Structure 1
Amino acid sequence: MAEEQPTIAKKAPYTVQVEGGKNYFWCACGRSETQPFCDGSHKGTEFTPVKYTAEKSEWLWFCGCKQTGTPPLCDGSHKNLK
């Protein structure tokens, strides 16, 4: 069986101000209505959310295209999308 591909939620990162010590669950499937975070829409797929614990309060760029090699953060992969 072929590996399921994520839905591209956005061809750009989501800029999020995170709070130090707080856990965030990044949507890996691209189906969530609460991008870039999980709302449970992955149920029934092979995707699971990626837990991210913020080390400090700061602005971060969470991947929107779901193609990043460094989940959950953007690595610029969206620049290679057609």
Structure 2
Amino acid sequence: AAGGGGRGVWGCSRRCRAPPGVSLSSAPPQPVIAAKEPFPVELEAGKKYAWCSCGHSKRQPFCDGSHKTAAPTMSPLRFTPEEDGTAWLCGCKRTRSPPYCDGTH
């Protein structure tokens, strides 16, 4: 393995410890990448939508409730567009402008 001595990729054995005051189990959950490209969708002004932020939904880019079992600490982003039109919703779930794609993928 990289790092030598039977250690993992980062040269760390199973006895690695988090820095003082940091719990590895308290790290924020990371979403699953649903797609490495945005989803073009037609949105209606005034209609409420729930964008999947966990990546587990089978109805991408919208939430189907999968987070309740697959990622219970995550929740969808609810939004209401002000205008009708095509929007490019993020598929990689790493955008800094959710729910819209910012090219991060």
Question: Under a length normalisation based on structure 1, what TM-score does the superposition of the two structures give?
Answer: 0.91
In the alignment, which residue of structure 2 is the partner of 1:6?
31
In the alignment, which residue of structure 2 is the partner of 1:41?
66
Q: Does 1:66 align with 2:93?
A: yes
CA RMSD of aligned residues (A): 0.8
Q: Does 1:51 align with 2:81?
A: no
Structure 2: 5+ residue stretches without partners = 1-24
Which amino acid letter does the alignment assign opposite residue 83 of structure 2?
K
Question: Under a length normalisation based on structure 2, what TM-score does the superposition of the two structures give?
Answer: 0.72
Question: Aligned pair count?
Answer: 78
In the alignment, which residue of structure 1 is the partner of 2:103?
76
In the alignment, which residue of structure 1 is the partner of 2:22?
none
Which amino acid letter does the alignment assign opposite residue 22 of structure 1?
K
Question: What is the deviation of 1:54?
Answer: 1.1
Q: Which has the larger radius of gyration?
A: 2
- SS class of match (1:43): helix
Which amino acid letter does the alignment assign opposite residue 92 of structure 2?
C
> 2-side partners of 1:61 and 1:52: how far apart?
14
Q: Percent identity?
A: 53
Task: Kindly indicate which of the two structures has a greater share of residues assigned to strand.
Answer: 1
Question: What is the deviation of 1:42?
Answer: 0.4
> 2-side partners of 1:60 and 1:3: how far apart?
28
In the alignment, which residue of structure 1 is the partner of 2:12?
none
After the TM superposition, which parts of structure 1 deviate over 4 Å for at least 4 consecutive aligned residues? none
Question: What is the deviation of 1:3?
Answer: 2.0
Structure 1: 5+ residue stretches without partners = none
